[in-house]
Amino acid sequence: MMTHHRTRHIVLLLSAAVLLVVAGCSTQKNTGKSRWWHSFNARYNTYYNGSQAFIDGALAKESGNKDNFTEMIPLYTVGNKASRDLGKTNFDRAIEKSEKAIKLHSIKRRPEWTKSRRKTAKDIEWLNRREYNPFLWRAWLLLGKSQFQKGDFDEAAATFSYMSRLYATQPAINGIARAWLAKSYAELDWLYDAEDVITKMRRDTMHYRAVRDWDYAYADYYIHARQYDEAVKYLSRVIKHERRRKQRARQWYLMGQIQTKLGNREEAYRAFRKVVRQSPPYELEFNARIAQTEVMAAGRSRQMIRRLRRMAVSDNNKDYLDQVYYAIGNIYLAERDTVNAIAAYEKGNEKSVRGGIEKGVLLLKLGDLYWVKERYADAQRCYGEAIGLLDKERDDYEQLSRRSKVLDELVPHTEAVHLQDSLQLLAKMPEAERNAAIDRVIEALKKKEKEEERAAREAEVEKQLQQQGAQGNGQAAGNTPAAPVNQSGQWYFYNPMVVNQGKAAFQRLWGKRENTDDWQRVNRTVVNLAADMEAGVDNNVDELSDDTAVSDSIATDSVTTDVFGAAADSVADDPHKREYYMAQIPFTEEQKAESDNIIKDGLFNSGVIFKDKLDNLTLSEKALTRLTGQYSDYDRNDEAWYHLFLIYSRRGDTAMAEHCLARLRDTYPDSKWTILLSDPYFAENARFGVHIEDSLYAATYDAFKADRYDEVKANARLSAERFPLGINRPKFIFINGLGHLNDGDAAACVADMKEVVEKYPDSEVTELAGMIIKGVQAGRRLHGGKFDIGDIWSRRGVSADSDSTATDTLSMERNTGFVFLLAFRPDSVNSNQLLYEMARYNFSNFLVRNFDIVVDDDGEISRMLISGFLNYDEALQYARRLYSDKDMAERLKGCRRIIISEENLKLLGIRYSYVDYERFFERSFAPLRVSDESLLDIPETIEQPENGEDGADEDGEGAGSDNDGTGTRNADELFDGIGLPPNNNNNEPPADGFDFDEDFYR
């Protein structure tokens, strides 16, 4: 009984002591005891759990990262977009714990100071601080580093910018924060901002504790700025700082790449050799060895190629053969041996089993070679496959995309000409020679099929072996067969053997199909005039493709083509029989005429594309000259002579240009091309026509807005006479059509709108013209009135009254989720800079309250949406506070501000225009009274719980939990860097309140 009472008294005394300590340790008090209490709790409670989550996330990112060794690898693995989401959950948890530590343990209240005491310089610095928890800077650093490793560089920049101001009086912490700020800017490619931070740091004295972080920052900045000479110096220091073997190997590889860029082949070779000595993962080691061969001293090409061929026969490298042969091709190319280079690249393409970025780079290089050699069919094949394998943000991706599109348009015409020429040549051959040629094609087909069958058998054997292995390892359950998995772990489309099987199965089921993009065949906004209007649409609008496109029955592979409509199921449809090929050869006059028509169209279209899109005047002249000389009856020869005139004019060959013009005048006197070239203003239009037409349209638009319709009609006529092919021609037609409404001539208006839709389907006014026609089809009547083409804020995706059964109306509910929206024209505001400014403003003013920021680009209107408001009152208070900040108000001048519920946002720009919604807002929401309570402000300090809950994290993981890792620490470790609680409450600066660890991930 005595023991029970004694234990009870002890518990009561301890509880009372804890309550007294907690009561004296509020963040509203700044004493030695409160500082110790909050630093201790911040470190061994929320911060500890957050730091462990950060380490777990960083390890996950490091182990799962896959570098693209065909380009310069980033210093930080987060620079790889494919690896950016690795560890995201852990970093989110670290961010949450950091924010909680800051929220619960921040001490901003200045300590009391005896006025009679003399202040030293150290005392003055201490009293001028804005944060008095000596440990909390670590929570800020962990918050920013977690955002950085998560890939939210703009948020990280805002965090480190605020941290540098918060700890402006403490050089070491300030230096570290500014170093990370420079890194964040560098990763955002905001190089001017990063340079500004670096320049200011150079003017200041760098604290020795921040030197290591600044070495990383300098290296990262100079790499992004492509100042490689400077980058080498700081990257060398970074490698010395780095203690993790895998990361050190990556950094040596990066050093080798930089030295290669600088032309320091020996230094690059030594760097790659050091990569191998780090015993890195095999892929990194393999790429280092490949890179070594490419930087060997000149004159050792044979030795390098022998070394690479030995690597090619190694089983360890069977998944990397594309890279091996790519390196071989590069060596040949450096020796200017393009024949062997192409052979090596083709071998790499054939042997590739991964189908990733490495193969894409190989195909791009191969396609470029074919492009230079004007082998456009081969270039199209390479570009067409490479474009789906490479990152869209590559520097050369835009050129690749442009070339691929042009070749997709060109090659069907050139291949059609080549095929028909071959077939006509076969028709002229003696029977014996023709049969021999056909037999060679059949033999090649049989050989190809045997190779595909062998590959299919190997794939089946590999599949069975994998199933057996899975069953043997207990990976197959019940009677369910194991799924076919590529041994290398690659996706289905990266295994050529499996792809061949899939192709064969598809062709058995569906037959040969042309690879055509039909995803955007129908535009629902622009009406289908052929179906709904009485007047038919001229389907031959596109002079370069639609009216002369090669028929679906024409393919580039003569083995699988039947031009003249042989029955698909007939005996003669077997490509292993001579009859199959004989059926395609144009023997009769009708077949010869059909073949000639295909050649004519192919020559014309390829000639125009060569001139206008490839700027290859030689091939254009060759095609068009053959067309006009061999096929004088072609119905578009007048246009062919026009293009020849332009070609010779560009070359300065006046005599040939005059010859073309004379042929036009003699043979096609009434052609529009003859009239165009005979125009006395033709030379002036050719030089200044674009500017003149732009000025004319601007004047016409001003006249339209000022109701000067006679001037509009006169300018429209002038446009038709002088600029019939001008880029603004559809706008002239459109605006002239609107002018007809002033005269009450709705029929003329509709006719002009039809002309715009039919002849100019890609114009920016075509959609508006289609909507007008659609309204007429729905029975609506046209009437005169103002119409501002440039008023994008008044446009809707669909008419608000186009559907009488529609129930999508704007909601007046105020107690629902709201969004604050900034809308602006893309060319009027720098969206990246605006995103950064908004993120920094939110972070600086709403420390714990998180608002999501999303940028939405909708073509003519860009929108920045700030979400996370629980109701209308919160969103309105946010907007008022934002615009009360003079600096932010100045930055937001080019933006249209809108407060809108999440429900109404779905209708904005679709059923209701921005102007429609603003009218609704002024009518429905603006008059509402808003709560005077500051809904967005969270108290700066939070009262401590009376029962001591502050010692445990919200998920039960605290300093004393089983998994917090603190139970085995000794007293020195426990109080290191925090300071023992003082015996008195004198407000004196701590002797050493700054504690550094070795940061595991920099």
Q: In percent, how much of the chain has pLDDT > 70?
A: 73
* pLDDT value, residue 502: 65
Taking the C-alpha atoms of residue 539 and residue 4, their distance in angstroms, rounded to an integer, is: 100
Q: pLDDT class for 127, splitting at 50, 70, 90?
A: low
Phi, psi of 891 (to 5 degrees): -70, -25
- 436-440, 473-477, 627-631: least confidently modelled range: 473-477
Question: For 798-809, what is the mean pLDDT?
Answer: 51
Tokens representing residue 883 in the block: 């615009």
∠ Cα 319 320 321 (to 5°): 100
Cα angle: 809, vertex 815, 821; to 5 degrees: 70
Mean pLDDT of 814-834: 85
Instruction: Please report the pLDDT score of residue 495 as a whole number.
Output: 52
Are 92 and 151 in contact by the 8 Å Cβ rule? The answer is no
Query: Please, which residues bridge with residue 823 across strands?
Result: 863, 896
pLDDT in the model for residue 402: 92
d(CA 46, CA 136): 11
Task: Supply the pLDDT for residue 503.
Answer: 58
Distance CA 507, CA 320 (A): 31
Quote the crossing angle between the two packed helices 617-630 and 589-612, to the nearest 10°.
Answer: 150
Q: In this structure, what are the phi and psi dihedrals at residue 869, rounded to the nearest 5 degrees?
A: -90, 135
Domains of the chain, by residue range, sit at 353-412, 429-470+484-511, 559-585, 682-790, 818-924
pLDDT at 348 over 60: yes
**Confidence at residue 952, expressed as pLDDT on a 0 to 100 scale:** 47
Task: Identify the CA nearest to 870 among candidates 822, 818, 799, 802.
Answer: 818
pLDDT at residue 693 tops 50:
yes
pLDDT for the residue 1001: 38
Q: How confident is the model at residue 994 (pLDDT cuts 50, 70, 90)?
A: very low
With 80 as the cut, is the pLDDT of residue 999 above it? Answer: no
Domain formed by 818-924, architecture: 2-Layer Sandwich (3.30)
Whether pLDDT at 357 is above 80: yes
Q: Which residues pair with 820 in a beta bridge?
A: 866, 899
Q: Choose the weakest-confidence range: 2-6, 367-371, 921-925.
A: 2-6
The pLDDT of residue 800 is above 60: no
Lowest mean pLDDT among 77-91, 588-602, 747-761, 950-964: 950-964
Across the chain, mean pLDDT equals 78
More confidently predicted of 348 and 679: 348
What's the pLDDT at 57? 93
In the block, residue with structure tokens 């009434």: 670
Question: What gap in Å lies between CA 178 and CA 184, rounded to an integer?
Answer: 10
Closest residue by Cα to residue 50 from 98, 105, 100, 87: 98
- Which pLDDT score is estimated for 214? 93
pLDDT at 180: 95
> What backbone torsions phi and psi does residue 454 show, to the nearest 5 degrees?
-65, -45
Query: Residue 645 and residue 671: Cα distance in Å, rounded?
Result: 14
For residue 255, pLDDT over 90 is answered with: yes
pLDDT tens column, 166-190: 888 888 899 999 999 999 999 999 9
The mean per-residue pLDDT over the stretch 571-589 comes to 83
- Strands annotated E in 495-629: none
Which residues does 324 contact at the CB level (< 8 Å), separation at least 6? 290, 308, 311, 312, 317, 348
What pLDDT score does 786 carry? Answer: 52
The amino acid occupying position 302 is R
Token couple for 861:
């209107």
pLDDT at residue number 795: 63
Q: Which amino acid would we find at residue 840? A: R
CATH 3.30.420.610 is right for the domain spanning 682-790: no
pLDDT of 784 reads 55
The 10 Å Cβ neighbour count of residue 270 is 16
pLDDT in tens, 865-888: 998 888 898 899 899 989 988 888
Between CA 554 and CA 562, with CA 559 as vertex, the angle to 5 degrees is: 40
The DSSP bridge partners found for residue 852 are: 867
Average pLDDT over residues 5-22: 50
Interval 910-923 mean pLDDT? 86
| The residue count for the chain | 1002
- Give the model's pLDDT for residue 789: 53
Q: Are the C-beta atoms of residues 218 and 230 closer than 8 Å to each other?
A: yes
**Distance between terminal CA atoms of the chain?**
59
Number of helices and strands in the chain (H, E)? 40, 4
- Tally of CB atoms within 10 A around 880: 10
- Looking at residue 4, its pLDDT comes to 52
Higher per-residue confidence, 503 vs 739: 739
10 — pLDDT class (breaks 50, 70, 90): low
Highest mean pLDDT among 37-41, 127-131, 406-410 belongs to: 406-410
Longest dimension (CA), the chain: 129
Q: Check pLDDT > 70 for residue 721.
A: yes
pLDDT of 461 > 90? The answer is: no
Q: Crossing angle of helices 357-372/321-334, nearest 10°?
A: 30
- pLDDT by residue (tens digit) across 648-679? 999 999 999 999 999 999 999 989 888 888 87
- Is residue 290 scored above 90 in pLDDT? no
**Which percentage of the chain shows pLDDT scores above 90?**
28
CA distance 675 to 668: 10
Asked if 557 and 551 touch (Cβ cutoff 8 Å), the reply is no
* Rounded Cα gap, residues 331 and 304, in angstroms: 8
Q: Is the pLDDT of residue 54 over 90?
A: yes
pLDDT, average across residues 725-746: 85
Angle between helices 136-150 and 153-166 (to 10 degrees): 160
pLDDT (0 to 100) of residue 780: 65
pLDDT band, very low/low/confident/very high, at 782 (cuts 50, 70, 90): low
* pLDDT mean over 634-648: 93
3-state secondary structure of 21: helix
pLDDT at 213 over 90: yes
DSSP 794: G
Task: Considering only residues 750 and 544, tell me which one the structure prediction assigns the higher pLDDT.
Answer: 750
pLDDT in the model for residue 605: 95
